[in-house]
Amino acid sequence: MEKQEIISKLPYSKPFQFVDELLDIDENGVEGTYTFDSTLDFYKGHFKDNPITPGVILIEVMAQIGVVCLGIYLLNSTFTKNTSIALTSTEIEFLKPVYPNEKVTVISEKIYFRFGKLKCKVIMKNEKDETVCSGIIAGMILSPPKVSGLSEGEGANTGLK
């Protein structure tokens, strides 16, 4: 699967899509970038006179590049618009702030992918190649079950009235 195709399959749109480019991806990990535009809404109040990127947004960038993009790649053609993605756990250490207009690179290494759960070691670096934050992120990637014998829109016949 091509890198741009993976980005096009992300279940997000601007202003909540935090993936600009995938630099490298294979079955063991992914590397991608995102530049924080200074016009993003959260900079208006975090913090008023010294805007920095909220930690929860840094986690989201790491999750979108490091878990969701890798999950789409691993699932390949079985990933559809009906596939659900949910963050299940994070353990992140924050080391440096990220400011407006900074470009970051996320490097993710797969720990395991089994039973729909993808767990990765992730590192975010700034343009000076300094580690901004790092840790472990896991997520569930679930495809809807295929139920045979039912037509679209038809549920199970329980006999309940």
Catalytic center residues: 46
Q: Tokens representing 79?
A: 């990933």
Q: Which residue has the tokens 């490298």?
A: 24
Query: Whose CA is closest to 10, among 69, 78, 82?
Result: 69
CA separation (Å) from 132 to 12, 76, 127, 157?
Answer: 24, 30, 10, 53
